[in-house]
A and B are shown apart, each in its own frame.
Chain A
Amino acid sequence: EIVLTQSPGTLSLSPGERATLSCRASQSVSSSYLAWYQQKPGQAPRLLIYGASSRATGIPDRFSGSGSGTDFTLTISRLEPEDFAVYYCQQYGSSQTFGQGTKVEIK
């Protein structure tokens, strides 16, 4: 099973700053089958990115995904107040596993 490790565990930033979240896989993720989700307290996850770099419908362009193989990154170019949440990566190239999440909190 592919294990996804997200870092950092918590990211403390101010609105307007850039956020860079990492997702590292224990084995190569085939065909860049990697997705990113945002989850706010009391809400369901929301799909942000699929195929490592394709934005889901309705997702603002301040969210971008990159990477391949074992190293993937979610970047939020300028944090808006509504972006403070927990972010999960998920690979779907070999079975399906989630990372443990990165919390983006207000500094």
Chain B
Amino acid sequence: EVQLVQSGAEVKKPGESLKISCKGSGYSFTSYWIGWVRQVPGKGLEWMGIIYPGDSDTRYRPSFQGQVTISADKSISTAYLQWSSLKASDTAMYYCARIMSIFDYYGDSWGQGTLVTVSS
């Protein structure tokens, strides 16, 4: 069974850094892309970017380029999303999802989500 398990909820202050994780199991982690999706409370969904753990090829949605960093450690089947300096506007639920391919860019399995709250 394909599973993506994300790290727990975080409460941070503006300006702090953060790295959240997404661990895959039940499939070949290096053979599929992993994407990150943001959902602001009560709002819709937005893709942020994707990574191919096999070779760490990473693509960002333009609005997120330079705002976050996506990485992966294939030795432990884990993908990451990190911020160097959080803002209040980063408060959201963040999901990771397995993506079939760069052309079939939809999430067929999803993590449970990580709630990030940024507040002074």
A interface residues (Cβ-Cβ under 8 A, vs B)? 33, 35, 37, 43-47, 50-51, 56-57, 88, 90, 92, 95-96, 98-101
A45 engages B95 (CB within 8 Å): yes
A45 engages B45 (CB within 8 Å): yes
Q: Which residues of B contact A44 (CB under 8 A)?
A: 95, 97, 110-113
In the complex, whether B16 has a CB less than 8 A from a CB of chain A is no
Q: Shortest distance in angstroms between B104's beta carbon and chain A's nearest beta carbon?
A: 7
A88 engages B44 (CB within 8 Å): yes
B interface residues (Cβ-Cβ under 8 A, vs A)? 37, 44-47, 61, 95, 97, 100, 103-113
Complex A-B, nearest 8 residue pairs according to Cβ-Cβ distance, in ascending order = A44-B110, A92-B105, A35-B106, A98-B45, A96-B47, A47-B108, A100-B44, A96-B105
B46 engages A45 (CB within 8 Å): no
Q: Which residues of A contact B44 (CB under 8 A)?
A: 88, 98-101
Q: Which residues of B contact A98 (CB under 8 A)?
A: 44-47
Q: Shortest distance in angstroms between A35's beta carbon and chain B's nearest beta carbon?
A: 4
Q: Shortest distance in angstroms between B102's beta carbon and chain A's nearest beta carbon?
A: 10
Closest to A90 in B: B106
Q: Which residues of B contact A51 (CB under 8 A)?
A: 104
Closest to A51 in B: B104
Q: Shortest distance in angstroms between B24's beta carbon and chain A's nearest beta carbon?
A: 14
Q: What is the CA–CA distance of A66 and B44 in the complex, to the nearest angstrom?
A: 22
Q: What is the CA–CA distance of A47 and B44 in the complex, to the nearest angstrom?
A: 15
Supposing A96-B47, A98-B44, A101-B44 touch, asked if A47 and B61 sit within 8 A by C-beta, the answer is no
Q: What is the CA–CA distance of A37 and B103 in the complex, to the nearest angstrom?
A: 18
Closest to A49 in B: B106
